[in-house]
Chains A and B, each alone.
Chain A
Amino acid sequence: QSALTQPASVSGSPGQSITISCTGTSSDVGAFNYVSWYQQHPGKAPKLMIYDVYNRPSGVSNRFSGSKSGNTASLTISGLQAEDEADYFCSSYTSSSSRVFGSGTKVTVL
Chain B
Amino acid sequence: QVQLQESGPGLVKPSETLSLTCTVSGGSMSNYYWNWIRQSPGKGLEWIAYIYHNGRTNYNPSLKGRLAISIDTSKNQFSVTLNSVTAADTAVYYCVRAPGGVYYFDSWGQGALVTVSS
List the B side residues contacting A21 at CB < 8 Å. Answer: none
Q: How far is the CA of A52 from the CA of B102 in the complex (A)?
A: 8
How many A residues touch B, CB cutoff 8 Å? 26
Given contacts A3-B44, A99-B47, A102-B44, contact A34 B62 (CB under 8 A): no
Q: Mark interface residues in B91-118 (1 if CB within 8 Å of A CB, else 0).
A: 0001000000011111011110000000
List the B side residues contacting A99 at CB < 8 Å. Answer: 35, 47, 50, 103
A104 to B45, Cβ gap below 8 A? yes
Q: How far is the CA of A103 from the CA of B103 in the complex (A)?
A: 19
The closest CB in chain B to the CB of A32 belongs to B103
List the A side residues contacting B61 at CB < 8 Å. Answer: 1, 96, 98
How many B residues touch A, CB cutoff 8 Å? 23
Q: Mark interface residues in A92-109 (1 if CB within 8 Å of B CB, else 0).
A: 110011111111100000
B103 to A34, Cβ gap below 8 A? yes
B36 to chain A, nearest CB (A): 11
Pick from A51, A57, A98: contact of B58, CB under 8 Å: A98
Interface set of A (CB-CB < 8 Å, partner B):
1, 3, 32, 34, 36, 38, 45-48, 51-52, 57, 89, 91-93, 96-104
Interface set of B (CB-CB < 8 Å, partner A):
35, 37, 43-47, 50, 58-62, 94, 102-106, 108-111
